[in-house]
Amino acid sequence: MGDPIGEPTEWSELVWRFIELADSHGSRAAFYQIPASSLPLYLDAGLKILKLGEEARVLLPSFTLQGSKGANLRYALKRGERDCLQFEIIPPEQVASILDELELVSNAWLCKYTAGGEKRFSVAAFRRDFVLSQPVALVRETGKVVAFATVMTTELRDEVTVGLMRHKPDATSRYAMEYLFIRLIQCFREQGYHTLSLGMVPLSGFQAHRLAPQWHRLARVIWSFGRRFYNFQGLRAFKEKFDPVWEPRYLAASG
């Protein structure tokens, strides 16, 4: 998943070693969610490239609630405070004590918004070991959890990444999720992080041109008419509220 980890000068050798290792096992190598900036590395290795979607990344130092762009978020923050919503971040060692409550929220969300249960590939799924392994940001309403998001960080304090985000469809406040993410952004900006990744929106950003590649045209059809399976457009609309930079992500694979 992603580019090799380590010095960029060593990436080319690492990519080739991975391809050779896959080939020695009779398998094909695949690099998932790679950025546009490193595509030449994989093209030079003879891999085929397919676009997957776009990742939303909020630039924390420049994020603001001021001006016309921040008007809706300012309202969501004030409304959340008026609705007595409470935000907190639970460290990994304490997540077990609220895990059952988080699972109830997740199950309610799945029943309301997702046909066919969890999607376990381009977006995160609720797995207990996954949730237990990281901090959880949550919002309570009258003491009960109504929205949460798992967050992944590193000691570099460069980027924080949202893994799984869920909310209770029957929460009294309509602004629980917006309130959660505004407070999450503010919290990590104060800690000196540079970016907040809201994760990828599958099939986002594909060309609708009649001469576009066949995969792009198929993806546009799924994007437009696949809402009963997954609300791709709704996911993008929610993330768009936080004025992110949208960056394309690709799959590079043998054959």
Higher local confidence (pLDDT), 105 or 255: 105
pLDDT on residue 137: 97
- CA-nearest of 123, 119, 118 to 32 is 123
So what CATH class is 57-199? Answer: alpha beta
Cβ-count burial of 216 within 10 angstroms (0-12 exposed, 13-18 middle, 19+ buried)? middle
* Contact of 221 with 85, CB cutoff 8 Å: no
Higher local confidence (pLDDT), 67 or 207: 67
pLDDT on residue 216: 84
pLDDT band at residue 224 under the 50/70/90 scheme: confident
State the Cα–Cα distance between residues 117 and 99, nearest whole angstrom: 19
**Mean pLDDT confidence for 204-226:** 82
Residue 227 predicted with pLDDT over 80: no
- Angle 162-242-135 from CA coordinates, rounded to 5°: 20
Of the candidate ranges 50-59, 98-107, 225-234, the one whose mean pLDDT is the lowest: 225-234
Higher local confidence (pLDDT), 118 or 43: 43
> Mean pLDDT over all residues of the chain?
91
Segment 131-181, tens digit of pLDDT: 999 999 999 999 999 999 999 998 888 999 999 999 999 888 999 999 999
238 CB-near residues (< 8 Å, 6+ apart): 177
- Say what the pTM is: 0.86
Of the candidate ranges 7-11, 49-53, 83-87, 199-203, the one whose mean pLDDT is the lowest: 199-203
- Angle 198-202-208 from CA coordinates, rounded to 5°: 125
Q: What is the domain partition of the chain in residue ranges?
A: 8-54+202-228+248-253, 57-199
Higher local confidence (pLDDT), 245 or 215: 245
pLDDT on residue 116: 66
* Percentage, residues of the chain above pLDDT 70: 96
State the Cα–Cα distance between residues 138 and 151, nearest whole angstrom: 10
**Mean pLDDT confidence for 201-215:** 83
pLDDT band at residue 122 under the 50/70/90 scheme: low
Residue 94 predicted with pLDDT over 90: yes
